[in-house]
Amino acid sequence: MNFVSTPISGLTIIEPRVFGDERGYFFESFNLNTFRKHIGDIHFVQDNESKSSHGVLRGLHFQKPPFDQAKLVRCVSGEVLDVAVDIRKGSPTYGQHVSVLLSGENKRQFFIPRGFAHGFVVLSESAVFAYKVDNWYAPTHDAGIAWNDAALGIDWQVDLSKILVSEKDGKLPCLGEMETPFRVE
């Protein structure tokens, strides 16, 4: 596996080594020892998967402490634009984001540590999206920021009139309107 740093410390793109022949392909999507060496100690407790159609945008989500989560995300089939936003007050990259193209073809993964809001939009006709988290889902600590917050400057690469969000995601506040629970000293 190749671990690629991004302009925001902690956000890491993971490119697996894919072995293919006439039968198909094989790749290792997670190896705890390799992950510990490049990212640090982590204990994933839950795997999640969703299927969505073109233009569906899920996010930008996070969980408040003590149920905050780190995520390891990937697109199993189709293509998505995956986005992580730094919401750690005091961070030199607060309010900045990294966008990564994830697809069933490139098999990239994206590691998002605690203290980031996360979301993705489907660029293909449909996509299956899977991710691991290191803390349990806690509905009472579920939170997020508006996907279309102009201050974030995210180019979702989809005609905005074609974007479909849940009712809940459509009501999320802008980053500047909320008190973030994450701090960098």
Give the catalytic positions in this structure: 61, 131
Cα four-point dihedral sign 38, 118, 136, 67 = positive
Instruction: Please give the Cα distance from 160 to 70 (Å, whole number).
Output: 28
Helix-strand-coil split of the chain, %, nearest 5: 10, 45, 45
With beta carbons less than 8 A apart as the criterion, state whether 88 and 180 touch.
yes
Number of other CB atoms surrounding residue 89 within 10 Å:
15
Residue with tokens 């890491």: 12
Cα Rg for the chain, rounded, in angstroms? 16
